[in-house]
Amino acid sequence: MHRYPRWPVHVALLAVSTIMLVPFYWVLKTSLTGENIFAFPPALWPENPHPFFYVDVWYAIPFFRYLVNSVIVSVVVVAANVVLNGMAGYALTRDFPGKATTILLFLSCMMIPFQVTIIPAYLITSELGLLNSHAGMALPLSSTIVCIFIFKAAFEAIPKSLIDAARIDGVPDWMIVFRIIMPLTKPAIATNVILSFIWSWNSFLWPLVIIRDETMQTLPLGLSRFLSVVEDTTGALYAFCVMVLVPGLVIFLLAQKEFVSGLTSGATKG
Amino acid sequence: MAPRTDTAPAPKTRRRVLEGARTFASRKRTREIGLVWLFLAPSLAIFTIYRIVPLIWNGVLSFQFWSPYKPAEFAGLYHYEEMLFYDEAFWETLWNTLIFMASAPVGIALALGVALLVDTPIRGRNTYRTIVFMSYPVMTVAVGIIWQWLFNEKVGLINYVLISLGVIDQGIPFLESFTFALPAVIVASIWQVIGFYMIILLTGLQSIPPSLYEAAAIDGAGAVQRFRRITLPLIRPSLFLCFVVGIINSFTAFDLIFVMTGGGPGHATDLLVTYIYSTAFRLSKFDYAAAITVVNFLLFVALAFLANRLAGGEAGAVKPGG
Amino acid sequence: MRSPGLLKRFLITLTAMALVTAAWNVYVVLNDDGTISGRVVDGAGNPVEGAKVTLSERSLLVARPRGQTVTDAEGQFAFTGHRLHRLYLEASKEGAGRGSQREYRLYFKGQNLELEEPLQLGAGGAT
């Protein structure tokens, strides 16, 4: 099976990689050189690159404010997801009246894409007085059904005898949670963190709907606003784009394996 | 689970102990059930507030005349009538959504090719995988901006490449063109999601035992035959999962279109989800948008149901939109 | 498990970022007095006294005048306390002509700027 030459595979994969990477390169290049939209052909390599578009953007928009908003929302969402989904997932491993109904309810909620409920969700959020707030942005994302079931599966995989043994040894409950359950459900927690991070960090439609106040905007919102407000600033726009991409990409590259396994199990389990 | 007493007590006391254990157990049971509901409460509350109530509210709204400044009034099927018989934009966006969905197999086929390539035992395959996958978790708004730039009429890289290759003489304003805008958006969407398809398919490929291939090779099956007889049938669940992702994608691909074209030109790139947004939040026609949403939802459920039946009840997970 | 390695990687990255940010801020604090100094010379390279130097701000879309000063006997001029990051300097003198408007881009607002090349009169645009 492995007797064919390797180089065609490499050539093909290099071509694929080029296609996948060129868009990133192109935007990076533009952010360093700007672009004269009347010059054809466009330069393939950066000529006289300089970082001043980044300086322009930094002073043109409250980038740090956007970043902080994004971080706040993501941290709240990730923390809420881990805690709430863990709790719900644990509850579903126990027997209780109404369990079947609850599971059915969760499964049918899964069939309701959030985009479908956006209008009443907006009206409800407005009733709750959470428009223009971090809480309003975070709340709908604070629990995820897929992750509840991932947690449920992880809890069910823990041998009961282990916990019983610990109980008999007089280990207090909180210590059982931290010393036995948490380490054993680490993959589930990781999946949860990754999924909820991606969803909240990249979330756009929901903040777009409920945020009017400029100081509450998150990164994607700020980016799209900048696109629509300022049109004459090619270099600055792409510098902003790069600045928005970098935090996400850094986190992805630091935790690639976790991202891949998290996203796959998010898609396959549940 | 009541704690057991180690030594067997004398018959008389034993009964009392058992009774005590039972009340203890039942009190413990009540407490446990209370705890279970306490644990479930926050999640249930969130799903009730943001999924179930909105779904019902949305249904009610679609039969009403309502705007934030007007009290509700019963409208019957007015909105549905308008949508189905008088609103060409609705049909156009519905059609676009279906085209968008129908483009998923293209992306999946490409992803399958890449997955087969990175499944070979070559050096640096992990790097290749990372590169292909990298575009998926990236912020879609940024992806839209990048691709809008690549599709630029004058200095866009794509036009430049096409002109250099002699395919066209003059730059095409892709995103302003009625013909090319939707395909252009689809290309960007495939570029973003292909890594995800690849990873899903790769998991499928890696679950195929190598011994099957070896046996087939001994039986003299060629590469193409091995692919058709072994690979394809065995990665069916993964392929199916990719289709589900593709379907969901066509209902939720809001960010990309909002940024790249805003649904334009005309409604050439409007999907149902973007049309709903602009109807509700640009034109403040919440009631009408609610009616479109109902149709959108029914279509989604029907497709999910259909896909589920096709897969023989082997349900793929439905990723809730984020 | 991979997690310890992961945590370490994150810690290293975050610490590195914090250090770079801190160093950058220290540098900024030390160099943001907003001074601009330079010389004005005529076409032959001799210093010009009494030339008017205009400082204007270039924001993303428009340019606005922000200050004016006059050169001394050696042709030297100086501004202090500007809070700009993208600016234009232009020198002019009655009878000696106008220099072309020159653009300077700074790394942060109020960065101290010492012109390496003097502004030249009569070299650039029409009078």
A235 in a structural domain: yes
| A143 → closest Cβ in B43, B196, B258 | B43
- Residue C10 in this model has a pLDDT that exceeds 80: yes
- Would you state the structure tokens that stand for residue B166, as one six-digit string? 């002699």
Q: What angle do CA C16, C17, C23 make, to 5 degrees?
A: 90
Max Cα-Cα span within chain A: 78
Largest CA distance in chain C: 79
Contact in structure between A76 and A134 (CB atoms under 8 Å): yes
3-state secondary structure of C33: coil
How far does Cα C38 stand from its chain's mean position?
11
Question: What CATH code is carried by the domain that includes residue A120?
Answer: 1.10.3720.10
State the CB neighbour count (10 A cutoff) for residue A50: 13
Contact exists between A and B (3 or more beta carbon pairs < 8 Å): yes
Average pLDDT over residues A219-228: 87
DSSP letters spanning B135-152: TSSS-HHHHHHHHHHHT-
Are the CB atoms for A116 and B55 separated by under 8 Å?
Answer: yes
On the question of pLDDT at A179 being above 50, the answer is yes
Q: Is the ipTM of this complex over 0.90?
A: no
Q: Which helix (H) or strand (E) holds B74?
A: strand B70-74
Give exposure, B220-255, as e/b (b: 16+ Cβ within 10 Å).
ebeeeebeeebbeeebebbbbbbbbbbbbbbbbbbb
CB–CB of A255 and C1 under 8 A?
no
Q: Which neighbouring-strand residues pair with A191?
A: none
- Mode of pairing for the β-strands spanning C52-58 and C63-70: antiparallel
Of A109, A119, A148, the CB nearest to B58: A119
Q: What is the mean pLDDT of chain C?
A: 81
Q: Which residues face A241 on adjacent strands?
A: none
pLDDT tens digit sequence for C110-122: 888 888 888 887 6
Question: Cβ B255–A117 below 8 Å, yes or no?
Answer: no
What's residue C126's pLDDT? 41
pLDDT recorded at residue C65: 78
Q: How far is residue A151 CA from its own chain's centroid?
A: 18
Tell me which residues of chain B, numbers 164 to 203, contact chain A at a CB-CB cutoff of 8 Å: 164, 191, 194-196, 199-200, 203
Question: What are A131-153's pLDDT values in tens digits?
Answer: 999 999 999 889 988 889 989 98
CA distance C90 to B56: 67
Residue A240 lies in a domain: yes
Q: What's the structural domain count of chain A? A: 1
Scanning every residue of chain A, which has its alpha carbon at the shortest distance from the alpha carbon of B201? A264
Q: Which of B44, B46, B195 sits opposite A142 (nearest CB)?
A: B46
Instruction: Report d(CA B238, CA A49) in Å as an integer.
Output: 45
Contact A176, A160 (CB under 8 A): no
What's the pLDDT band for A232 if we cut at 50, 70, 90? low
Q: Is the separation of the CB atoms in A9 and B115 below 8 Å? A: no
Q: Supply the range of the domain harboring residue A164.
A: 50-268
Q: What is the rounded distance in angstroms from the CA atom of residue B9 to the CA atom of residue C29?
A: 81
Superfamily, domain B87-310: MetI-like (1.10.3720.10)
Closest CA to B9 of C100, C8, C34, B19: B19
Confidence class for position A37, pLDDT limits 50, 70, 90? low
Cis peptide before A159 (omega within 30 of 0): no
Which range, A123-127, C87-91, C93-97, has the best average confidence (pLDDT)? A123-127
CA distance A13 to B119: 11
C92 forms beta bridges with C52, C98
Distances (CA, A) of B310 to A109, B192, B241: 22, 27, 12
What average pLDDT does range A98-103 have in this prediction?
A: 89
pLDDT for residue B1? 41
> Is residue A7 within 8 angstroms of chain B, CB to CB?
no
The answer, yes or no, to whether C and A have at least 3 beta-carbon pairs within 8 Å is yes
| Locus of tokens 């007085």 | A129
Neighbouring CB atoms inside 10 A of B266's CB total 11
Burial A83-118 (b: 16+ CB within 10 A, else e): ebbbbbbbbbbeebeeeeebeebbeebbbbbbbbbb
Between the alpha carbon of residue A102 and those of residues A145, A186, B33, B48, the distances in Å are 12, 25, 13, 12
Closest CA to B297 of B273, B313, B271: B273
Q: Which residues of chain C does A236 touch, with a Cβ-Cβ cutoff of 8 Å?
A: 60
Q: Give dist(CA A160, CA A174) in Å, integer.
A: 16
Q: What is the pLDDT of residue B317?
A: 42
**Å from A210 to nearest chain C CA?**
28
Distance from CA of A56 to the nearest CA of B (A): 18
Answer whether residue A4 shows pLDDT above 80.
no
Q: With 80 as the cut, is the pLDDT of residue A269 above it?
A: no
From first to last of its 322 residues, what are the pLDDT tens digits of chain B? Answer: 444 444 444 555 556 666 666 677 788 788 888 888 899 999 999 999 898 999 999 989 888 888 777 787 887 888 888 888 888 899 999 999 999 999 999 999 999 999 999 988 888 888 899 999 999 889 999 999 999 889 988 788 898 888 888 888 888 888 888 989 999 999 999 999 999 999 999 988 988 888 888 888 888 878 888 888 888 888 888 888 898 888 888 888 899 999 999 887 888 899 999 999 999 888 888 889 999 999 999 998 898 888 878 776 444 444 333 3
Mean pLDDT of chain A: 86
Residues from chain A contacting residue B54 (CB–CB below 8 Å): 117-121, 124
Sign of torsion over alpha carbons B67, B69, B71, B73: negative
pLDDT tens-digit readout, A46-83: 878 888 888 888 888 888 999 999 999 999 999 999 99
Structure tokens at B70: 């007007």
Name beta bridge partners: C40: C119
Cα–Cα distance measured from residue B90 to residue B72, given in angstroms and rounded to the nearest whole number: 24
C-alpha distances in angstroms, B254 versus A115, A134, B259, B277?
9, 21, 9, 9
User: Which stretches within chain A are classed as H helix?
Assistant: 7-33, 52-60, 63-91, 99-110, 118-127, 134-138, 145-157, 160-168, 173-176, 182-184, 186-202, 205-210, 219-229, 234-254, 256-268
For residue A194, which of A140, A125, A139, A265 has the smallest C-alpha distance?
A265
Select the more confidently predicted residue: A270 or C59: C59
Contacts with B, A 42-61, CB within 8 Å: 42
Other chains touching A, judged by 3 or more CB pairs under 8 Å: B, C
Q: For residue A250, which residues of chain C lie inside 8 Å, CB to CB?
A: 13
Return the bridge partners of C67, or none: C55
* CATH number of the C36-120 domain: 2.60.40.1120
Write down the pLDDT at residue C52.
Answer: 84
- Give A41 or B205, the one with higher predicted confidence: B205
What distances in angstroms separate CA C86 from CA A50, B20, B173, C63, C113, one per listed residue? Answer: 13, 83, 33, 10, 11
DSSP-derived 3-state class of residue B123? coil
- How confident is the model at residue B319, as a pLDDT? 39
Q: What tokens appear for B150 in the block?
A: 């690549």
- The confidence band for A184, taking pLDDT boundaries of 50, 70 and 90, is confident
